[in-house]
């Protein structure tokens, strides 16, 4: 193990039967880091001061969150030329001197997110500088969801649609049920085109104003198989050159996984790049697709209305016809 990694270990989770449950290891880490790591303490103090208001859109709701600390992420420069040159903030050797984490199965590091949207909000970063690609990480993603259990939802942001470190493999863990879409998508009557695999089930819907594919099951191989097929179909129909743009959520409860896949056709909406008068700084990642829309600028928090949210979702998400084609493409 590299010395820079060994110095960072607050605790470890090996997955052995005598190991304490992963969610029980996280609160002591967060408590220690709030004191030892000044920026994290400030991040959580800032979270106490965020303002939230709910918007009722057509068939779904969103929570607008005015969170000034998120400007670094929402306003992030994601140009490849910039990303390649900056020191990667998820690599152990570049972490702030006081930042520590929980070594997870020797493969990932559970870290506290210094600009939280949720309380708590963890970043789960690979111990190596590997690109943000879902295919190779799929088994770890399902295992993480199982290890974090029913109190947490695990998030994946595609490299080009929400990941603030597109060059370093990472997930997030946030409290289960904190995003409105988690409830909205459980209303099974709104779904269609169900497919069945090896003790796993797939359905799709656009009832929440954006395309969503839901995969549920108790069989790990069945979940992996349907998820791979859904990713392949999304890639083909959206003509993605590499990994298709997706945001993925997963929660594990009652010995089964429930996973939401949001295919994307665009990262930032046009209004993000508009002139100063019309500009609205909303940069949709997993939280936004979940219905928690973060606005780091107060003027955007005040101005955003239901119609604008609906139009942003329409712009960044495939339309009904494309979703149907994706679902039809899944064998």
Q: Which residues bind Zn ion (CB under 5 A)?
A: 88, 90-91, 129, 168
Angle, CA of 317, 319 and 323, to the nearest 5°: 95
How would DSSP label each residue in 114-158? Answer: SS-SSSS-EEEEESS-----HHHHHHHHHHHHHHH-TTEEEEEE-
Cβ(199)–Cβ(219) under 8 Å? yes
Give min distance, CB of 123 to Zn ion, in A: 12
| Comparison of 129 and 190: residue with beta carbon closer to Zn ion | 129
Give min distance, CB of 127 to Zn ion, in A: 10
| Comparison of 168 and 206: residue with beta carbon closer to Zn ion | 168
Nearest residue to Zn ion on Cβ basis: 88
Radius of gyration for the alpha carbons in the chain, expressed in angstroms and rounded: 19
Give min distance, CB of 101 to Zn ion, in A: 14
Give min distance, CB of 135 to Zn ion, in A: 19
Give min distance, CB of 115 to Zn ion, in A: 18
Integer angstrom CA distances of residue 129 from 36, 41, 45, 251, 293: 25, 27, 30, 26, 29
Helical axes 220-237 vs 320-329, angle rounded to 10°: 130
Tell me which H or E stretch contains 81.
helix 80-85
| Comparison of 50 and 88: residue with beta carbon closer to Zn ion | 88
Omega within 30 of 0 (cis) for the link into 259: no
Cβ(173)–Cβ(134) under 8 Å? no
Angle, CA of 94, 90 and 65, to the nearest 5°: 125
| Comparison of 113 and 295: residue with beta carbon closer to Zn ion | 113
Give min distance, CB of 289 to Zn ion, in A: 24
| Comparison of 126 and 295: residue with beta carbon closer to Zn ion | 126
Give min distance, CB of 129 to Zn ion, in A: 4
The residues, ordered by sequence, that sit 6+ positions from 139 with a Cβ below 8 Å of its Cβ are 220, 224
| Comparison of 91 and 231: residue with beta carbon closer to Zn ion | 91
How would DSSP label each residue in 287-325? Answer: HHHTTEEEESSHHHHHH--HHHHHHHHHHHS--HHHHHH
Give min distance, CB of 168 to Zn ion, in A: 4
| Comparison of 25 and 83: residue with beta carbon closer to Zn ion | 83
| Comparison of 2 and 52: residue with beta carbon closer to Zn ion | 2
């Amino acid at each position: 193990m590299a010395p820079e990694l060994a110095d960072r270990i607050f605790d470890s989770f090996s997955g052995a039967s005598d190991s304490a449950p992963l969610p029980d290891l996280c609160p002591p880490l967060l408590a220690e880091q709030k004191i030892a790591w000044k920026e994290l303490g400030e991040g959580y103090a800032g979270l106490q001061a965020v303002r939230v208001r709910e918007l009722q859109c057509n068939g779904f709701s969103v929570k607008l969150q005015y969170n000034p600390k998120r400007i670094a992420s929402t306003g992030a420069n994601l140009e490849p030329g910039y990303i390649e040159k900056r020191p990667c903030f998820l690599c152990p050797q570049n972490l702030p001197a006081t930042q520590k984490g929980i070594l997870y199965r020797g493969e990932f590091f559970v870290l506290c997110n210094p600009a939280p949207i949720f309380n708590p909000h963890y970043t789960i970063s690979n111990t190596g500088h590997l690109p943000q690609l879902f295919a190779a990480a799929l088994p770890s993603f399902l295992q993480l969801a199982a290890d974090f259990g029913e109190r947490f939802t695990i998030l994946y942001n595609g490299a080009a649609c929400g990941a603030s470190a597109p060059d370093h493999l990472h997930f997030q863990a946030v409290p289960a049920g904190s995003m409105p879409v988690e409830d909205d998508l459980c209303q099974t009557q709104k779904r269609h085109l169900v497919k069945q695999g090896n003790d796993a089930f797939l359905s799709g819907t656009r009832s929440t104003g954006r395309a969503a594919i839901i995969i549920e099951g108790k069989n790990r191989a069945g979940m992996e198989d349907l998820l791979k097929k859904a990713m392949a179909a999304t890639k083909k129909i959206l003509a993605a050159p590499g990994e298709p743009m997706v945001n993925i959520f997963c929660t594990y409860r009652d010995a089964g996984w429930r996973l939401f896949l949001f295919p994307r056709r665009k990262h930032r909406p046009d209004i993000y790049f508009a002139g100063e008068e019309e500009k609205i700084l909303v940069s949709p990642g997993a939280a936004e697709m979940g219905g928690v829309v973060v606005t780091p600028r107060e003027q955007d928090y005040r101005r955003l209305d239901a119609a604008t949210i609906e139009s942003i979702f329409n712009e960044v998400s495939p339309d009904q016809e494309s979703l149907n084609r994706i679902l039809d493409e899944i064998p």
